[in-house]
C-alpha cells in the first residue's frame, strides 16, 4: 500500500512539474533573444568574427528544429570593436535596450572582466567560450573555454616530459589573461625544479608588430646549450608578426618549439605555415579530430557559411557546447528566466566534437579533454596528445592564496569558498 501511495505521489509530482513547465513555457515572450557580443573590427576581429558566424549558424539550426519553447530565436549582434570598455556598454545595451535572454561573447579576459560588473548588476547570463586564466567564478557566467589546468599546465608538462625543454620563454600580450596565466606557470615551473633564471617573461601590447628583438632574445636564451621552449599567450593579429619573425630568423620547431594557447586554425588560415611546421598549440578541440560528430559539424559549418575553405576551431566548439547546453537547460526549465536556467545548467551534458562528453560542473566550468597539436603545412594540426576529459578548476592549486579556494554554485552557493575557514568570500566584480 505504501509502495502504491509512493508511486502515486511521484506520478502526481511529475505531472505537476510538467504542468508547471508547460505553463511557464506558455508565458514565454517571443522571440527569444540571444545577444552575440564579439569584436567584428579592431585587433581581435581576426579571431572573434568567426564566433559571431558560428552563433548565427547554431541559432539558425535551432530555429529550423522549431525554435525554443515554441518561439523562434532572434540573434542580436553588436560590435564592441576590440575596445574593452565598449564591451561593458554593449552588454548593458543588450540587457536593458534589446532585452536579450542570454549573451554569448567576449574573447580576451579584459573584455570579459569589463562585462562582469554589468552582467552581475543586471542579473544577466554570459557564456564565455575562450581559454582563460581562471581565478574567477561568477554565478552569472558559464566558462566553456579551458581553465589553466585544462590547457596551460598540460602544455607545460608536454614541454617538460616529451620535449625535454629546460628553459622557458613566456611571451604574452599585456593584459590580465597572459599575466595571470604566466604567474601560475612560473609557480608551477618552480615547483618542477626550473630555476628562476631559466624563465624569461615578456609582454607586448595588442597589435604589436616588431618582434625582431624579442625573438633574438629568445634565441639567445639557448646560448648555454639548454633547450628553450616558448609558451605563447600572444593574442590577436600580433601572432602574425611573431610567427613571421620566427621564420625570418630561421627558427624552426626543432630549434625552439613554440606552444600557443591562442593560435588555432582561424589564425593560421592567414599565414604561410610552411616554416611553422612542427610548432604546437594546446586546445580542447582541433578541426582534424576524426569523429562522426566533428565531420557533421564541419559539414554544417561549410553549408551555412558557403565556403568549404573556412576552418573550425576550439572556441567554436565551446560555443557549440554552451549553446546546446543552454537550449537543453531552457527546455528543461520551461523558461528563459536567468535564475531558473542557471540552476538547470549544472549537470547538463552534451557530446563534444572529439569523441567524449562535456559536463557542466557546479563551478560553472566544463569537463574538457586536453589536446596538443603540431602545425602542418596546410594550416591544420596533427593531434599528438589527447587526454580524457579533465574537470575545469576555477581556482589554481599553484598559487597559495587560490589553493584553499573552491567554487560550488549548486550546493554551497558560492564561487569563492575558503575550504580552510569554511566561509564564502563575496567579492563583487569592479574591474
When the pLDDT of each residue in the chain is averaged and rounded to a whole number, the result is 92
The reported pLDDT for the residue numbered 317 is: 98
**Average confidence (pLDDT) over 352-375:** 97
How many C-beta atoms lie closer than 10 Å to residue 97's C-beta? Answer: 9
pLDDT (tens digit per residue) in 315-340:
999 999 999 999 999 999 999 999 99
CA pair distance 121, 117, nearest whole angstrom: 6
The reported pLDDT for the residue numbered 168 is: 98
Q: Is 220 exposed, middle or buried (0-12, 13-18, 19+ CB in 10 A)?
A: exposed
The reported pLDDT for the residue numbered 14 is: 41
pLDDT (tens digit per residue) in 131-156:
999 999 999 999 999 999 999 999 99
The reported pLDDT for the residue numbered 293 is: 97
pLDDT higher than threshold 80 for residue 214: yes
Kindly list the structural domains of the chain, giving each domain's residue range(s) and its CATH number in brackets, ordered by start.
28-146+289-367 (3.40.50.2300), 150-283 (3.40.50.2300)
The reported pLDDT for the residue numbered 7 is: 37
Measured CA angle at 243 (ends 241, 247), to 5 deg = 110
Quote the strand ranges of 116-266, DSSP E. Answer: 126-128, 141-143, 167-173, 199-204, 228-233, 258-260
pLDDT higher than threshold 70 for residue 307: yes
Percent of the chain with pLDDT over 90: 85
> How far are the Cα atoms of 135, 397, 403, 415 from residue 419, in angstroms, in the given order?
15, 13, 9, 12
pLDDT (tens digit per residue) in 66-102:
999 999 999 999 999 999 999 999 999 999 999 999 9
Amino acid at each position: 500500500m505504501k509502495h502504491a501511495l509512493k508511486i502515486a505521489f511521484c506520478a502526481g509530482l511529475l505531472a505537476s512539474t510538467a504542468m508547471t513547465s508547460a505553463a511557464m513555457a506558455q508565458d514565454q515572450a517571443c522571440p527569444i533573444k540571444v545577444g552575440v557580443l564579439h569584436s567584428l573590427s579592431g585587433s581581435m576581429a581576426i579571431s572573434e568574427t568567426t564566433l559571431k558566424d558560428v552563433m548565427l549558424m547554431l541559432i539558425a539550426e535551432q530555429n529550423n528544429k522549431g525554435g525554443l519553447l515554441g518561439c523562434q530565436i532572434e540573434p542580436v549582434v553588436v560590435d564592441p570593436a576590440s575596445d574593452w570598455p565598449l564591451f561593458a556598454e554593449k552588454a548593458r545595451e543588450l540587457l536593458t535596450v534589446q532585452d536579450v535572454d542570454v549573451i554569448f561573447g567576449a574573447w580576451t579576459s579584459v573584455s570579459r572582466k569589463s562585462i562582469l560588473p554589468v552582467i552581475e548588476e543586471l542579473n544577466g547570463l554570459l557564456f564565455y567560450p575562450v581559454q582563460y586564466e581562471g581565478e574567477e567564478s561568477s554565478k552569472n557566467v558559464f566558462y566553456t573555454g579551458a581553465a589553466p589546468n585544462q590547457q596551460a599546465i598540460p602544455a607545460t608538462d608536454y614541454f617538460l616530459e616529451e620535449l625535454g625543454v629546460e628553459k622557458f620563454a613566456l611571451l604574452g600580450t599585456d593584459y590580465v589573461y597572459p599575466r595571470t596565466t604566466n604567474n601560475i606557470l612560473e609557480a608551477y615551473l618552480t615547483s618542477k625544479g626550473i630555476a628562476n633564471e631559466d624563465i624569461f617573461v615578456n609582454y607586448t601590447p595588442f597589435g604589436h608588430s616588431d618582434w625582431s628583438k624579442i625573438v633574438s632574445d629568445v634565441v639567445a636564451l639557448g646560448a648555454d646549450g639548454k633547450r628553450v621552449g616558448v609558451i605563447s599567450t600572444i593574442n590577436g593579429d600580433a601572432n602574425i608578426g611573431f610567427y613571421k619573425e620566427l621564420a625570418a630568423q630561421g627558427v624552426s620547431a626543432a630549434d625552439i618549439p613554440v606552444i600557443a594557447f591562442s593560435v588555432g586554425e582561424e589564425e593560421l588560415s592567414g599565414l604561410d605555415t610552411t616554416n611553422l611546421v612542427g610548432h604546437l598549440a594546446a586546445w580542447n578541440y582541433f578541426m582534424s579530430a576524426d569523429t562522426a560528430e566533428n565531420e557533421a559539424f564541419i559539414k554544417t559549418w561549410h553549408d551555412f557559411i558557403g565556403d568549404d575553405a573556412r576552418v573550425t576551431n576550439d572556441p567554436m566548439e565551446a560555443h557549440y557546447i554552451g549553446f546546446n547546453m543552454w537550449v537543453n537547460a531552457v527546455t528543461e526549465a520551461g523558461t528563459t528566466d536567468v535564475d531558473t536556467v542557471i540552476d538547470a545548467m549544472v549537470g547538463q551534458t552534451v557530446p563534444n566534437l572529439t569523441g567524449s562528453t562535456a559536463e557542466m560542473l557546479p563551478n560553472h566550468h566544463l569537463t574538457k579533454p586536453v589536446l596538443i597539436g603540431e602545425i602542418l603545412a596546410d594550416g591544420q594540426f596533427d593531434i599528438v596528445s589527447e587526454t580524457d576529459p579533465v574537470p575545469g578548476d576555477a581556482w589554481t592549486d599553484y598559487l597559495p592564496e587560490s589553493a584553499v579556494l573552491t567554487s560550488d554554485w549548486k550546493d554551497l552557493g558560492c564561487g569563492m569558498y575558503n575550504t580552510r575557514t569554511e566561509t564564502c568570500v563575496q567579492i563583487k566584480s569592479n574591474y
